[in-house]
Structure 1
Amino acid sequence: MPDTTRGVAARAVDVWKSYGSGDAAVTALAGVSVEFEREHFTAIMGPSGSGKSTLMHCLAGLDDVTDGEVWIGDTKVTGLNDKGLTELRRDQVGFVFQQFNLLPTLTAEENITLPLAIGGRKVDRAWFDTVIDTVGLRDRLTHRPTQLSGGQQQRVACARALVSRPEVVFADEPTGNLDSKSGAEVLGFLQKSAREFGQTIVMVTHDPNAASYADRVIFLADGKIVNEILDPTADAVLETMKHLDTAVGVS
């Protein structure tokens, strides 16, 4: 069970997000309030169109909220100017996307250390070595993305997200393009990052098995948080999703 004494890495306070205006307006988030505890791995799930990706984008400062507040650690994201958002995403947030987003001309090591280079920060070699050995990339550091398998590329992306020790890592369907074995390796690494290295992970996924690696799963439907499970199993997540689908009329 989450230990709130460790503090909160990210939180949304009565967040609303609408697209369009007038009769064409679509409400993606409808008064969402949620906290993500430090050093925990949380999965966000829900039917298609439930608002799960929108919530992640708002939390990460990739999208503005219509109303409410978003915080990363002690930083109020809501209302930050472009410079402030750039610094937040560079220094306090890590990202892992379904598309690996690696630069093809850089080696694995250069891709991993890129956020530090952009921010003018030195690499903590001890932490770098820990991350590299954990993701099993020691013998792939000089390879470019085209010389790596999909699973290896995603592990490079995970290492890149963690090497700067961000306040929180957001992972958006990180196993969506991977086979089951590679996906399990990436999920195991994210789980280990939270449990052994004290990293905070927030992952959007549609896969009950992927969600079972998390410490906690929150469920969205129609832009609202409607349920959560602690210490989830794949079966428990699947059963909860079935009821959500029925509740919102999804076949």
Structure 2
Amino acid sequence: MPTPAVVATGLRKVYGRGPTEVHALRDVDLTIHKGQLTAIMGPSGSGKSSLMHCLAGLDRPSAGTVTVEGTDLTGLDERRRTDLRRDRIGFVFQQYNLLPELSGRDNVLLPLEIAGRRTDRAWFDRIVAALGIGPHLDRRPTELSGGQQQRIAIARALITRPAVVFADEPTGNLDSAASRDVLELLRRSTGSLGRTVVVVTHDPVAAGYADRVVLLADGRVAGELHGSTSQDIAVEPEKLAG
């Protein structure tokens, strides 16, 4: 049986009160398995972002629990939740979020510097080789293409050896060629680097790289796909929206 990396049980998220109350998540049960790439898809307003924020400890659920490698996030105070995010969770964003004044190398190593941790040189070299970013390490973000910047961002997400990496629309600002490169790198992260990756996306091509696609609708898990093509995946959110 696959080993769980992240487990959500009875997850609910409610925004507002009274007549403005919005139920973003409704009793979501979901297990993210170690060493796999999982895509989360759904029509607009389905709860994708709310689910990612709760799973990653960026937001507290209104009810239910989230555990990361056995640690209950919902039972932690804000400081300990921040520490866990820093040490055990990596993030890749659509906008890259690199610091323009830092070199590629310094951007990659920034999470370790913030945490006061020493660099594991062997792990750093392994990430650099796997992502092919050696030529970009001494250049600043403004000297790099979007795809190159996203490679640096993926390396930064991996440098702390996180339990799971969350990628929020990681190819949203890239052309098709750069998108393929980034998706293949995320896919490779679960193989040669042994990481667990969750991609939140509306793009069926991106979801087509996943081991498993979780479909959301109206704040609930509406189904799963395994081993499906991007063409098969493309019609599912439309069915859910309809």
TM-score of the two chains, using structure 2 as the length reference? 0.98
1:75 aligns with 71
1:193 to 189, 194, 199: 189
Corresponding letter in the other structure for 1:181: A
Tell me if structure 1 keeps the 8 A contact 2:5–2:163.
yes
Secondary structure at 1:42's aligned position in 2? Answer: strand
Stretches of structure 1 lacking an aligned partner (at least 5 in a row): 247-251
Q: CA RMSD in A?
A: 0.9
Which of 24-33 and 225-234 deviates more?
225-234
TM-superposed CA distance for 1:140, in Å, is 1.1
1:136 aligns with 132
Corresponding letter in the other structure for 2:175: D
**Equivalent runs, 1:1-251 vs 2, <5 Å:** 3-4=1-2, 7-246=3-242
TM-superposed CA distance for 1:196, in Å, is 2.2
Which of 234-243 and 69-78 deviates more?
234-243
Secondary structure at 1:96's aligned position in 2? Answer: strand
Which of 19-28 and 131-140 deviates more?
131-140
Stretches of structure 2 lacking an aligned partner (at least 5 in a row): none
Aligned residue-pair number: 242
Distance 2:236 2:43 in 1: 11
Corresponding letter in the other structure for 1:81: D
TM-superposed CA distance for 1:136, in Å, is 1.4
Please give the per-residue CA displacement for 1:23-43, whole angstroms capped at 9, x wherever unaligned.
Answer: 110000000000000000000
Distance 2:176 2:119 in 1: 32
Corresponding letter in the other structure for 2:234: L
Distance 1:79 1:19 in 2: 20
Corresponding letter in the other structure for 2:19: D
Distance 2:229 2:80 in 1: 39
Corresponding letter in the other structure for 1:244: L
The share of aligned pairs that are identical, in percent, is 52
Distance 1:228 1:238 in 2: 13
Secondary structure at 1:174's aligned position in 2? Answer: coil
Deviating beyond 6 angstroms after TM superposition, the runs of 4 or more aligned structure 1 residues are none
TM-superposed CA distance for 1:126, in Å, is 1.4
Please give the per-residue CA displacement for 1:62-102, whole angstroms capped at 9, x wherever unaligned.
Answer: 01100000111111100311210110111000000111111
Please give the per-residue CA displacement for 1:167-225, whole angstroms capped at 9, x wherever unaligned.
Answer: 00000000001111111111000001112221000110000000000100000000000
Please give the per-residue CA displacement for 1:223-243, whole angstroms capped at 9, x wherever unaligned.
Answer: 000010112210121122231
Distance 1:99 1:199 in 2: 22
Distance 1:74 1:11 in 2: 8
Secondary structure at 1:130's aligned position in 2? Answer: helix
Distance 2:19 2:62 in 1: 17
Corresponding letter in the other structure for 2:156: R
TM-score of the two chains, using structure 1 as the length reference? 0.94
TM-superposed CA distance for 1:166, in Å, is 0.2
Distance 1:124 1:109 in 2: 14
Tell me if structure 1 keeps the 8 A contact 2:43–2:238.
no
Distance 2:127 2:229 in 1: 27
